[in-house]
């Protein structure tokens, strides 16, 4: 009976592991399937075209150029490789400025013909209109509608997924914001975390250690939104006042909050690594005449360096994947940061803020999934780094 029970338990555990593995693979497969559909999407909004006068020979425009044209930052076709003509932007809602309701018809049944007339008689026009209103395709010239390219996504410097007629899905500001705030978070957390770890492992008496360790571990159980509120109420006003900034929401505020959130991981892993240093090595160092502090930084820390590095890398992973706290204190400006005092936006915060508003299956929706893929690879690299560093530490200890 006992053997049968053991076989049943073994089968349940095996099935659980198999189901878990399959579930993880399916999640990753779904993530990649949804994400890479972005590169099959067209640059111009679906169902619309950019129509030019027949004499205009400009054939292609990048998404950034299209945005600049419709924002009137580019005002002459000469800047786009065309003739020296002023650009006249036309949207469907502008049609009443050119034609009366009688000319358009009660139900706008003549709108297509009127749009064709307007495009034919205006050399510098660029008309962003529904394709169904192009009743005479041979009478106009179209901007070629290419698919969204990898270069536009991963080298794009602007994230504006709701822009019309061509949304911008540049990942650079989001990747830069994520790495920027994570880097400074570790720079803040590492010295303090290492100091506390050394104190708890080498200096503090057992009573203090037993009292302090649960408090530090409790920090990792506090919800991130609580850290966000703390940052919004305490850290942000202090930064705004100290640096005399218009707003305190900045990369610095996010870095400070993430540093606090990463501290429990860094302290716990680093302290465990230091306490695993053999007592014989400490005694040998002291017997040779080294002081306690010389033993710490010449024996204990070098021996524990792989564990310390693992703690730091795990802290980075916590910082990179954090969402709510960063969303609340960094200002959510999708721009490439040049200083830590500027507002910025991270990948997790972007996904959390915009996924609910993105139409399912659309380019914006797929771009957010692709951001998830980028975040997946960043965390995967971090996890592999931890495994590699830990394996080196194990080999060294043997």
Q: Which residues contact 255 (CB under 8 A, 6 or more apart)?
A: 181, 182, 184, 185, 187, 188, 340
**Which of 81-95, 148-162, 313-327 shows the lowest per-residue confidence on average (mean pLDDT)?**
313-327
| Residue 290: other Cβ atoms inside 10 A | 16
233 token code pair: 């109420």
In whole angstroms, what is the distance from residue 204 CA to residue 274 CA? 13
- Please report the beta strands in the chain, taking only residues with DSSP state E, as ranges in sequence order: 48-52, 88-91, 125-130, 141-142, 159-160, 168-169
Match 């994570």 to its residue by tokens: 182
pLDDT digits (tens, 9 = 90+) for 224-238: 889 999 999 999 999
* Coil, strand or helix at 343: coil
Place of tokens 């002459």: 76
| Right CATH for 171-397 from 1.10.3720.10, 2.40.70.10, 1.10.150.120, 3.30.70.360 | 1.10.3720.10
CB neighbour burial string for 336-346, b if at least 16 within 10 angstroms, e if fewer: bbeebebbbbb
Q: How confident is the model at residue 89 (pLDDT cuts 50, 70, 90)?
A: very high
Domain boundaries, the chain: 1-40, 48-146, 171-397
Question: What's the rounded mean pLDDT across residues 55-61?
Answer: 89
Which residues sit opposite 76 in a β-bridge? 86
Do 168 and 63 touch, CB atoms closer than 8 A?
yes
Q: What is the DSSP string of 246-273?
A: S---SHHHHHHHHHHHHHHHHHHHHHHH
Residue 247, φ and ψ in degrees, nearest 5: -135, 150
Average pLDDT over residues 7-19: 82
pLDDT digits (tens, 9 = 90+) for 195-212: 999 999 888 888 888 888
Residue 396 pLDDT level (bands cut at 50, 70, 90): low
Fold of 48-146: D-Maltodextrin-Binding Protein; domain 2 (3.40.190)
pLDDT at 389: 67
Interatomic CA distance for residues 393 and 397, integer angstroms? 6
- Count other C-beta atoms under 10 Å from residue 101's C-beta: 9
pLDDT at residue 313, rounded to an integer: 81
121 neighbors 327 (Cβ within 8 angstroms): no
22, 40, 186 from 31: Cα distances, Å: 14, 16, 29
Question: Rounded to the nearest 5°, which phi and psi values hold at 142?
Answer: -110, 145
What is the pLDDT at residue 142? 93
Lowest mean pLDDT among 76-90, 119-133, 382-396: 382-396
User: Fold match between 48-146 and 171-397?
Assistant: no
Say what the pLDDT of residue 217 is.
Answer: 83
For residue 397, the 8-state DSSP code is H
The region, left, alpha or beta by phi > 0 then psi within -120 to 50, assigned to residue 47 is left
pLDDT at residue 218 in the model: 84
Q: How many CB atoms lie within 10 A of CB 204?
A: 16
| C-alpha closest to that of 364 among 83, 102, 46 | 46
Predicted confidence (pLDDT) at residue 74 exceeds the cutoff of 90: yes
pLDDT for position 320? 80
DSSP 8-state class, residue 48:
E
Omega of the bond leading into 165 within 30 degrees of 0 (cis)? yes
CA distance 43 to 144: 9
DSSP β-ladder status, 88-91 and 125-130: parallel
Separation between Cα atoms, residue 37 and residue 148, nearest integer Å:
10
Share of the chain above pLDDT 70, in %: 97
Between residues 136 and 382, the one the model is more confident about: 136
Instruction: Report whether 314 contacts 387 (CB < 8 A).
Output: no
Assess whether pLDDT exceeds 70 at residue 282. Answer: yes
Q: What is the pTM of this model?
A: 0.86
Provide the pLDDT for residue 384. 80
Give mean pLDDT, residues 343-347. 92
pLDDT surpassing 70 at residue 4: yes
């Amino acid at each position: 009976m006992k053997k049968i029970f053991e076989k049943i338990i073994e089968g349940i555990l095996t099935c659980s592991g198999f189901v878990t593995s399959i579930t993880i693979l399916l999640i990753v497969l779904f993530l990649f399937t949804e994400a890479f559909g972005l590169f099959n999407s067209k640059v111009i909004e679906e169902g619309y075209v950019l129509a030019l006068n027949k004499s205009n020979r400009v054939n292609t425009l990048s998404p950034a150029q299209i945005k600049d044209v419709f924002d009137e930052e580019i005002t002459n076709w000469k800047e786009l490789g065309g003739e020296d003509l002023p650009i006249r932007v036309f949207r469907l809602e502008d049609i009443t400025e050119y034609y009366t309701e009688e000319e358009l018809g009660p139900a706008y049944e003549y709108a297509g013909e009127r749009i064709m007339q307007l495009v034919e008689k205006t050399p510098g026009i660029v008309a962003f209109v529904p394709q169904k209103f192009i009743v005479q395709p041979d009478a106009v010239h179209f901007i070629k509608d290419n698919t969204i390219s990898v270069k536009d996504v991963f080298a794009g410097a602007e994230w504006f997924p709701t822009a019309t007629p061509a949304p911008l899905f540049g990942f650079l500001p989001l990747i830069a914001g994520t790495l920027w705030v994570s880097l400074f978070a570790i720079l803040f957390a590492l010295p303090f975390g290492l100091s506390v770890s050394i104190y708890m492992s080498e200096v503090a008496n057992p009573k203090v250690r037993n009292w302090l360790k649960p408090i530090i571990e409790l920090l990792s159980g506090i919800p991130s939104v609580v850290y966000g509120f703390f940052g919004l109420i305490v850290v942000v006003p202090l930064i705004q006042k100290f640096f005399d900034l218009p707003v305190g929401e900045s990369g610095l505020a996010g870095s400070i909050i993430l540093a606090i959130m990463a501290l429990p991981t860094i302290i716990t892993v680093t302290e465990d690594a230091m306490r695993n240093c053999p007592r014989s090595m400490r005694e040998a160092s002291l017997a040779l005449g080294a002081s306690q502090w010389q033993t710490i930084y010449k024996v204990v820390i070098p021996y524990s360096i792989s564990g310390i590095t693992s703690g730091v890398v795990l802290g980075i992973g916590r910082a990179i994947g954090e969402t709510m706290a960063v969303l609340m204190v960094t200002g959510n400006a999708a721009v490439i940061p040049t200083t830590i005092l500027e507002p910025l936006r991270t990948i997790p915060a972007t996904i959390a803020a915009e996924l609910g508003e993105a139409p399912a299956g659309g380019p914006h929706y797929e771009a957010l999934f692709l951001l998830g893929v980028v975040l997946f690879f960043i965390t995967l690299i971090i996890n592999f780094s931890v495994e590699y560093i830990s394996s080196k530490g194990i080999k060294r200890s043997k």
